[in-house]
Amino acid sequence: MSVMAARTGKTTLHCPNDDWDFDPRYTEGVCPICGWGPGKRPTAAWLARVEALPWDYITLAIFAVVLLVVGVLVGMAANVNILPQGA
């Protein structure tokens, strides 16, 4: 809660995850739906698993596959044979 909210008596917080306004005095300082609180990160189990993935390697692999597919399409359009004629 900000200093201005404490001075004006406003005790309602807004959760950005589920667009819900709540009073932290009655919910132990966290959103009653998802557990978000000021200065806290969401505690959903699926979100923790997603954040633990190595996204840099996954993105690199996706780019490599896309580059390979584009290379094959260009090669097919240009009638490029990668195998020798005798094979």
pLDDT 10s digits, 31-68: 888 887 777 665 677 877 888 889 999 999 999 999 99
Nearest to 13 by CA among 85, 52, 4: 4
pLDDT at 1: 47
Domain that holds residue 15: 3-77
Prediction pTM value: 0.45
User: Residue 10 is encoded by which pair of tokens?
Assistant: 């406003």
Q: Is residue 84 part of a domain?
A: no
Q: Is residue 62 part of a domain?
A: yes
Do residues 1 and 38 make contact, with C-beta atoms less than 8 angstroms apart? yes
Domains held by the chain: number: 1
Q: Is residue 86 part of a domain?
A: no
Q: Is residue 85 part of a domain?
A: no
Q: Is residue 59 part of a domain?
A: yes
Number of helices followed by number of strands (H, E) in the chain: 3, 2
